[in-house]
Chains A and B, each alone.
Chain A
Amino acid sequence: EDKVVQSPLSLVVHEGDTVTLNCSYEVTNFRSLLWYKQEKKAPTFLFMLTSSGIEKKSGRLSSILDKKELSSILNITATQTGDSAIYLCAPAGGGADGLTFGKGTHLIIQP
């Protein structure tokens, strides 16, 4: 059975801090790993990672995949209150069984 573990489950930091969110996975026929940000309802796409060691960056957010360790991290630098959200990690396997999501990391940025 596919398994995704995210840590920490919740995190409270102050504006300007840097945070690192972790995701470890076990999935059959791994193809890619996706990160989403969920503020109220719709998860919004952040990154798709398919190759080990290649960092994807978008502004203050970056992510990297380690296929050997079956893990990924999401970094956010110079955090802002608008970064407060649940961050979801979802590895995708080779079948048509959808994405397997972790429980998410609930990130709260305090002013």
Chain B
Amino acid sequence: DAGVTQSPTHLIKTRGQQVTLRCSPISGHKSVSWYQQVLGQGPQFIFQYYEKEERGRGNFPDRFSARQFPNYSSELNVNALLLGDSALYLCASSLALRAGGKNIQYFGAGTRLSVL
């Protein structure tokens, strides 16, 4: 079975540009979460979507937005890119909304975004 897939794997943008990252969850998973990981830090929560609705949001500016499609895939958009947005962006999928029990988040390989 395919795991969580993310595209593209690498991306180089310049300040002020906009970027869209894509994620396909594990088949049967209805929840997708996005995380930002900068060098030397653990992943930081950005958004969680469940059944196509935003269910949780981390402490990120409004330049960050996301959506989930009827097939449960998801896109993360970042507008007006800043140098500080350079990071590994990870997508995780899970069966349900809340962690616990068998509801484990499984991660994709991420998109490495470099902002110049």
Q: Which residues of A are interface residues toward B (Cβ below 8 A)?
A: 4, 31-32, 34, 36, 40-45, 48, 50, 88, 90, 92-104
Contacts and interface: CB of A to CB of B under 8 A. Distances in A.
A2 to B, nearest CB: 10
A56 to B, nearest CB: 13
Nearest to A2: B45
7 closest A-B pairs (Cβ-Cβ)?
A92-B99, A101-B42, A98-B45, A96-B56, A31-B100, A96-B55, A41-B109
A9 B41 CA distance: 10
B56 A98 contact: yes
A99 B106 contact: no
Contact of B107 (A36, A96, A102, A104): A36
A45 B106 contact: yes
A32 B110 contact: no
20 contacts: A31-B98, A31-B100, A41-B110, A42-B3, A42-B4, A42-B90, A42-B108, A42-B110, A43-B43, A45-B106, A92-B98, A93-B99, A96-B48, A96-B55, A96-B98, A97-B56, A98-B47, A98-B48, A99-B43, A99-B105
Contacts of B107: 36, 42-44
Nearest to A102: B42
B41 A31 contact: no
Nearest to B54: A96
Interface string B33-64: 10100001111111110100001111000000
A69 to B, nearest CB: 20
Nearest to B33: A98
A96 B49 CA distance: 9
Nearest to B111: A41
A88 B41 CA distance: 10
A7 to B, nearest CB: 13
A86 to B, nearest CB: 8
